């Protein structure tokens, strides 16, 4: 597993890198958001650990940029203990949030938990009743059938697969799939969910793995 660490304090970065590598992770360190974006263009990362207070690009903005191409799990690091910052980080889709000072061993444990939680099921037998997500090829199979998805349908399903069972709000889905597309709104999410459901029903007419949570958003049942 390859981890992207973006931290502008070299002393903290070295301790974290040592802890990650000691646990078998391949870890790449960047001092700035700009370096991180360049690194992400050259290679694929399984998770990013981002400092919120970077000198060039704020950690929240960097998170959005990194997720334009793929739905990357993110853990935020910050020296700020303000509740508003924690809430903002979680609202834009952070998978965890760690406040400095922290234990490097605890951070590594949190990395493992996030990666384990977000790993989609890979079973495909006895009817192929789960999803199989090829993140490198941007392809998804459902019950053994390759889905013919548009860019945004794929983005929605990939976002839901990253956190099976978790409720993602329309705002979170907009941020992950559409980014800064000003012409898009909540109805855009609903419309694409509808077409995505139709394609899933073409494979399994009696099942609907996408759950609607009124006033909250959508979740995905990967056991359906």
pTM of the model: 0.55
89, pLDDT greater than 80: no
Would you state the pLDDT for residue 79?
72
Would you state the pLDDT for residue 137?
77
Q: CA 181 to CA 5: how far, in whole Å? A: 28
Q: Taking residues 177-197, what's their average pLDDT? A: 79
62, pLDDT greater than 50: yes
84, pLDDT greater than 90: no
Average pLDDT, the chain: 84
Would you state the pLDDT for residue 127?
35
Would you state the pLDDT for residue 49?
96
Give the tokens for residue 112.
Answer: 């493992």
- Provide the pLDDT confidence category of residue 210 given band limits of 50, 70 and 90: very high
Q: CA 165 to CA 79: how far, in whole Å? A: 31
Q: Are 177 and 128 contacting, i.e. CB atoms less than 8 angstroms apart? A: no
Query: Which of the pair, 158 or 116, is modelled with greater confidence?
Result: 158
Q: CA 55 to CA 110: how far, in whole Å? A: 25
Would you state the pLDDT for residue 126?
34
19, pLDDT greater than 90: yes
124, pLDDT greater than 50: no
Would you state the pLDDT for residue 115?
85
125, pLDDT greater than 50: no
Q: CA 65 to CA 51: how far, in whole Å? A: 14
- List CB contacts of 206: < 8 A, sequence separation 6 or more: none
**Quick one: DSSP state of residue 52?**
S
Q: CA 95 to CA 113: how far, in whole Å? A: 10
Is the four-CA dihedral 96, 102, 106, 108 of positive or negative sign? positive
215, pLDDT greater than 90: no
- Provide the pLDDT confidence category of residue 80 given band limits of 50, 70 and 90: low
Least-confidence region, from 87-96, 147-156, 161-170: 87-96
- Provide the pLDDT confidence category of residue 90 given band limits of 50, 70 and 90: low
Q: How far is CA 168 from CA 45, 59, 157, 173, 210, in A?
A: 22, 21, 11, 7, 11
Q: CA 63 to CA 37: how far, in whole Å? A: 10
Would you state the pLDDT for residue 53?
86
Would you state the pLDDT for residue 192?
94
Would you state the pLDDT for residue 27?
94
Phi-psi region of 43 (alpha: psi -120 to 50; beta: other; left: phi over 0): beta
């Amino acid at each position: 597993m390859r981890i992207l660490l973006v931290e502008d304090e070299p002393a903290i970065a070295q301790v974290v890198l040592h802890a990650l590598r000691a646990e078998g992770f391949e870890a790449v360190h960047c001092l700035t958001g700009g370096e991180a974006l360049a690194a992400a263009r050259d290679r694929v990362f399984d998770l990013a650990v981002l400092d919120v207070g970077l000198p060039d690009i704020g950690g929240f903005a960097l998170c959005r940029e990194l997720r334009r191409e793929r739905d990357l799990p993110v853990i935020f690091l910050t020296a700020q203990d303000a509740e508003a910052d924690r809430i903002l980080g979680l609202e834009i889709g952070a998978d965890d949030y760690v406040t400095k000072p922290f234990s490097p061993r605890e951070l590594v444990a949190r990395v493992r938990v996030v990666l384990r939680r977000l790993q989609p099921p890979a079973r495909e037998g006895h009817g192929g009743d789960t999803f199989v997500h090829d993140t490198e090829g941007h392809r998804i199979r459902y019950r053994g059938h390759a889905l013919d998805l548009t860019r945004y349908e794929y983005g929605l399903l990939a976002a839901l697969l990253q956190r099976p069972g978790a409720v993602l709000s329309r705002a979170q889905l907009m941020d992950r799939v559409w980014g800064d597309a000003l012409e898009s709104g909540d109805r855009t999410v609903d419309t694409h969910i509808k077409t995505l459901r139709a394609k899933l029903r073409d494979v399994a007419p009696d099942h609907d793995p996408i759950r609607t949570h009124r006033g909250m958003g959508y979740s995905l049942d990967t056991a359906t």
